[in-house]
Structures are given as structure tokens and as C-alpha cells.
Amino acid sequence: MTALLRVVLDQVVAPTDPNLAMASRELARALVASTPAGCAVEGLVPALADAAGVVEGAVPGLASLSRTTLARRELAAAWQLGVAPGVGGGMIHSPTLMAPLVKHDRVHENDQTVVTLWDLDAWERPSEMSKPAVTWHKAMLKRAAKFADAVVVPTHAMASRVAELGKFGDRVRVIAGAAPAGFAVPVDEIGRRRALDLPEGFVLVSGSSAPSAGLDSAFGAVAAAGADLPVVVLDVPIGDESAVIELAAASGLGEGRVHVRGALDDADRAAVFGGAVALLAPSALSAFPWRIVEALAVGVPVVAADSASHREVVWDGGVIAEVSGADASGSLGGALAQILDSTEAVERHAVLAADRGRAFSWAGAAERVWQLHADL
């Protein structure tokens, strides 16, 4: 009898967040590639006209595809209320909190439901999110506390925080994410950066004008470091560009020095990393630092604000700067200046970053997911 692992792939067919879409795609691919003997992987998706074609292109090799009767938005609302008609049981693994968290029988029917939580934004920065989004995330974690057989988080630091948010006992498991499989600076990197109208040799940052993103500290750090380098900001939400430029100007970065871009596909993003001399990560939120992991994967030196998650992920692959005091920009700036002190310093930190980057892979994550379900 074949053991079927059903993976929720709503982010593949109807993405709401680029990072969650990437994580869902990459984990599903790795699960397919590492399927143990006697097992198979099925995709579970919301109703969509061309769901089969989208999934086949993103995650080839699935044994089957199961569609719900509801589109993603309606499905998210239904699952929030604990309504999951026609979904069925079995082993269900969700790369996000989106899952049919309802009563099931793991002992006699071998039903399992596992969800994943990549950040605690709904708890740490609720004022920067829409009220429906905050409500949905909190409601789903409450349902997970009641019905999930395991809750996967990417770091031990997050595991400690999640344990404070509900009665999970020993059901919180740590499985880190990774950069996209094969993430590397492309051979046409220069052409891609030109197409994006970006300079060469810049400090890279990711975020928005929201206070929790810490871009003001990052801009101040570049000014404090004394390096006359341009700054590229990725992942800026549509409509937020002018606010980010205003933050940069207020921090002393003159006109034309800061280049703002939105979410990019993997190849363009890797090309951007290829032109960066360092990545600044100023946010101290409890979240998996996707851009840090990508920087490590391609050997870009990292300066990160001190946080439990950053210490765990960066480890010895970058520089951690204390930012809890009033002079956050000065601390980050000093750390950045340390890296940019000389060509030798940049090269040394690039090697350290690349060494640390090898600790993260979707193949390793998939192996741990299979083991988790076997243990359950």
C-alpha cells in the first residue's frame, strides 16, 4: 500500500507572497525528488481553471493532484472557520499555515496535518498589516494548537516564541528553509542588472518603509560607514517607493544614490546579489531571513541586526551588530565599515558567507519532513 503525502500548494497556483510561493515550490520539488520507497506525493490545491498546468510546470513529478471546490480566498476563509468539506484525510503537509485544521484520527486512520510558520509578523507588527490578515494568522495558529500534529518553524529561536503562543507541547519542530535550489549568480548577470537599471558595487537591503523593516537604520549605517556606495533596496511594495526614498534622504543619502526595486524573480534577484558588496539586514523581527540565506548561498558578505533568529542563521557566516540602543545606525555602520575596510576583508567575509550558506538546502529540509511524518 502506498503512503500518500498530500502537500498544500495554494501558494504555487494562487500566490499571495513571493517567499511563501518559492518555499512551497522548492519544498514540494525536493519532496518529490526524495520520495521514499512505498510513498508518493500529491498536490492539494484550491479551485483554479488551469491548476494542473501551473502545478506541472512548477512541481513536476507529482503522483496526483487533488482540487478543492473553493478558490483560494474562499478556501482560506473556510479553513479559518474549520470547514473542510471534500478535502479528505491522509498525511497533509502545508508549507504555510494554510491547511484543513480539523479534528482527525492519527492513531486509527493515520491522518496527519502539519503546518509551517515562517514569521511572527501578525504578533510582532500587527499595526503594519491588514486586520483581516492578522486575524487569519492568529486564528489559524489557534487551530494549529488544537488540531495540528506538528507545527514546523525555521529556527529554534522561533520555536521558543511559538511555544509561548499556545499549548503545543513537543509538537513544534525546527526545519529551516533555504535559497531556491541552484540559486547562483547567472552568467548574464551584468545584462540583467543593466535591464534593471542598477549600478555596480552597491550595498543591498530588503524591506519597506514600515518601521519594523529598519530601513532608516540601514540607510544611516551606510552613511555612518563612510563608504560612498550606492544602495539597492529590494522587495519594496508597490506604492511604497517614494516613502523609501524619503527615508533615505532623511538619513543623509543624496538623490540618485538609492535605487528602489520591488519583488524580482529568482534569476534577476541572483543577478542583483552578484553586483552587491554586502547585504545589510536591519530588521530584528522573528522571521526566517530569506535574503540573508540567499546572500550566504552566493557568498555575499552579511551584516545583520542582532536578533535570536539572525544569530542562529548567520552563525559565523557574517557580522552581527547590536542595535538595541539608540545608535542602531552607528552599530550597523561600524560593522559594515569592518567588512568594507579592504578588498581582503570583503573577500574573507565572502568566503565565510559561502561556507555558512552550504548549511541550508531544500533537499535536507525534505528529508526532515519525510522523517517527521514517519515519526508521527
- The CATH number given to whatever domain includes residue 39 is 3.40.50.2000
DSSP string, 88-149: --SEEE-SSS-S------TTTS--EEEEE--B-HHHH-GGGS-HHHHHHHHHHHHHHHHH-S
**Ranges assigned E (strand) in 149-188:** 150-153, 172-174
Residue 335's pLDDT is what? 93
Average pLDDT over residues 103-124: 89
Question: 134 and 23 in one domain?
Answer: yes
Q: In the Cβ-directed half-sphere of 203, how many Cα atoms lie within 13 Å?
A: 31
Question: 132 and 35 in one domain?
Answer: yes
Q: Please name the amino acid found at residue 32.
A: V
Name the 3-class secondary structure at 82: coil
Question: 349 and 228 in one domain?
Answer: yes
Mean pLDDT, the chain, integer = 95
Picking from 367, 370, 363, the residue whose alpha carbon sits closest to that of residue 179 is 363
**Each residue's pLDDT tens digit, 136-170:** 999 999 999 999 999 999 999 999 999 999 999 99
Question: 130 and 114 in one domain?
Answer: yes
303 sits in which H/E element:
strand 302-305
**Each residue's pLDDT tens digit, 197-253:** 999 999 999 999 999 999 999 999 999 988 789 999 999 999 999 999 999 999 999
The pair phi, psi for residue 345, each rounded to 5°, is: -65, -45
Question: 283 and 146 in one domain?
Answer: no
In a domain, 345, yes or no: yes
**Each residue's pLDDT tens digit, 283-316:** 999 999 999 999 999 999 999 999 999 999 999 9
pTM over 0.85: yes
Question: 353 and 365 in one domain?
Answer: no
In a domain, 184, yes or no: no
Question: 317 and 365 in one domain?
Answer: no
Q: Domain residues for 238?
A: 189-357
- Are the beta carbons of 224 and 333 closer than 8 angstroms? yes
Question: 311 and 207 in one domain?
Answer: yes
Neighbour count for residue 241 (Cβ, 10 Å): 16
Residue 255's pLDDT is what? 80
In a domain, 38, yes or no: yes
In a domain, 267, yes or no: yes
The pair phi, psi for residue 4, each rounded to 5°, is: -105, 120
Q: Is the pLDDT of residue 353 over 90?
A: yes
- Are the beta carbons of 360 and 176 closer than 8 angstroms? yes
**Each residue's pLDDT tens digit, 24-75:** 999 999 999 999 999 999 999 999 888 999 999 999 999 999 999 999 999 9
Q: How many independent structural domains does the chain possess?
A: 2
Please give the grid coordinates belonging to residue 131: 486586520
Question: 251 and 332 in one domain?
Answer: yes
